[in-house]
Chains A and B, each alone.
Chain A
Amino acid sequence: SQTIHQWPATLVQPVGSPLSLECTVEGTSNPNLYWYRQAAGRGLQLLFYSVGIGQISSEVPQNLSASRPQDRQFILSSKKLLLSDSGFYLCAWIGMVGGYTFGSGTRLTVV
């Protein structure tokens, strides 16, 4: 069966520190992968998506970057975190026709 793993579950980082969040998918090949952020409760914002290795599309200009070094691995990074980067980060992939499967999320607090 297909599963999606995302870690860590929670993270507290100081302003100016680097960030690396990892997402991996099992049980499928060449999935479309997505990073979303949710700030202050509701409203999921699409940050990046990838249709293949090394292929990254950015949806909004920001302090973050994404990479896809392997087929089933999607990484969200930052060189220097800002307070405004705090939020709930979710990784997702399409498991069926149009049906997304989301990871359990990482709650990032920048202090």
Chain B
Amino acid sequence: DAKTTQPPSMDCAEGRAANLPCNHSTISGNEYVYWYRQIHSQGPQYIIHGLKNNETNEMASLIITEDRKSSTLILPHATLRDTAVYYCIVRVASLNNQGGKLIFGQGTELSVKP
């Protein structure tokens, strides 16, 4: 079973920041938080991941609370092309741990509206 909980859906106005929350209260000390998104009828796309520090790349920012029990993915200026299902996943980074498999939950369906 997935170890994360996310709201099933969210709306965001185009050009505004989209803040997607994720709860992972049972996260272990060696587990990372990963975010992926899936645009309709395509394979999921990696966005970002982090352990305990906040992370930023060209796509998004990841804010992890100090107790690591929750995190927020931030898309700073959402566009219509950001409409997708966003998945938050926790897992150990080591490939030796059960092959590094990802267990997906239901994700959050983000709709960016003009």
Q: Does A75 contact B (CB under 8 A)?
A: no
* Contact of A105 with B95 in the complex, beta carbons under 8 Å: no
Q: Which residues does chain B contribute within 8 Å of A42, judged by CB atoms?
A: 85, 106-107, 109
Number of interface residues of A (CB under 8 A): 27
Given contacts A42-B85, A43-B104, is CB(A51)–CB(B99) below 8 Å? yes
Determine whether the beta carbon of B91 is less than 8 Å from that of A98: yes
Interface-forming stretch among B11-19, B20-28, B41-49?
B41-49
Q: Is the CB of A103 within 8 A of B106?
A: no
Task: Count B-side interface residues using an 8 Å CB cutoff.
Answer: 26
- Cα–Cα, bound, A102→B38 (Å): 10
| Cβ-based interface call for B100 (8 A) | yes
B103 at the interface (CB under 8 A from A): yes
| Chain A nearest CB, measured from B74 CB (Å) | 19
Contact of B34 among A32, A45, A90, A98 (CB under 8 A): A98
Q: Is there an interface contact between B42 and A105, defined as CB atoms closer than 8 Å? A: yes
Q: Measured between C-beta atoms, what is the minimum distance from B12 to chain A in Å?
A: 19
Q: Is the CB of A104 within 8 A of B49?
A: no
Interface membership of B63, Cβ < 8 A: no
CB within 8 Å for A97 and B44 given contacts A32-B100, A57-B99: no
Separation of A49 and B102 alpha carbons in the complex (Å): 10
Contact (Cβ within 8 A) B93 A97: yes
User: Is B77 positioned at the interface, with any CB of A under 8 Å from its CB?
Assistant: no
CB pair A99 B46 closer than 8 Å: yes
Enumerate chain B residues within 8 angstroms of A57, measured Cβ to Cβ.
Answer: 98-99
- By a beta-carbon cutoff of 8 Å, the part of chain B in contact with chain A is 32, 34, 36, 38, 41-46, 49, 85, 87, 91, 93, 95, 98-104, 106-107, 109
Other than the known A46-B104, A97-B93, A98-B93, what 16 A-B pairs have Cβ atoms closer than 8 Å? Answer: A32-B99, A36-B104, A42-B85, A43-B104, A44-B104, A45-B104, A50-B99, A90-B43, A92-B44, A98-B32, A98-B91, A98-B100, A100-B46, A101-B46, A104-B42, A105-B42
